Amino acid sequence: MPRFETALHFPDAEATAAFGRRLASLLAPGDVVLLSGPIGAGKSHLARACIAARLEVEGRVEDIPSPTFTLVQVYEVAGCEIWHADLYRLTHSDELVELGLEDAFASAICLIEWPDRLGDLAPAGALSIALSAAPDDSRTARLSSDDPRWAARLDGGTP
C-alpha cells in the first residue's frame, strides 16, 4: 500500500503552533492524529493550537488543559467532538476500552499523545506526527500515514 511520508522543520514554538492551526482546518470527524515524541517535543503544544483554532472559528476562547491527569479532554465544535488524549499513564491497551477511544475514532477528531500505548488499537489511516526537539528550541515533525490521501490534504488538495 502506498505510504505518505514527509518531514517539516519548525524554527520555534510559534511555527509549531502555526502548523497546529493549519492542521485544524483540515481535520474532519473520523480523523485521528497520533502525536509521538519525547517529553518536551511539542505534542501538547501542537494539539492545543489545533483545538484553539477550531474553537476560535466559533468565536470561543477556552482554557485547553493538558489531559495528562484526566487522560482525555473532549471539546464540542461545529457539530463534532475533538478528543485530546494523553495516554502516557496507561499501562495496558485494555484501559482504552474504558476511555471510549475506539468509538471516538469513528466519529470524532482525535488527537492522541503517546500513541504507542494504543498497541493494536491504533486505527488504520491515522496521520502520525513524530516530533523531536533540538537544543535551539526548533522542532522537526515527521509526518506519515498508510493513507495516501493525507498528502493531498496537507498540500491543500481535497481528501
Domains identified in the chain and CATH numbers: 4-156 (3.40.50.300)
pLDDT band at 158 (very low <50, low <70, confident <90, very high): very low
What's the pLDDT at 59?
87
Cell triple for 65: 488543559
For all residues of the chain together, what is the average pLDDT? Answer: 90
The CA–CA distances, whole Å, from 61 to 45, 96, 125 equal: 16, 29, 30
- Give the range among 92-96, 97-101, 102-106 with minimum mean pLDDT: 92-96
C-alpha 20/C-alpha 29 separation (Å) is 17
C-alpha 89/C-alpha 82 separation (Å) is 20
Task: Report which residue type is found at 45.
Answer: H
User: 112: which strand partners?
Assistant: 34, 85
32-36, strands of its sheet edge to edge: 4-10, 139-145, 127-133, 32-36, 109-113, 80-86, 72-77
* Per-residue pLDDT at 96 exceeds 70: yes
pLDDT in tens, 15-26: 999 999 999 999
Per this entry, what is the length of the chain? Answer: 159
What's the pLDDT at 159?
41
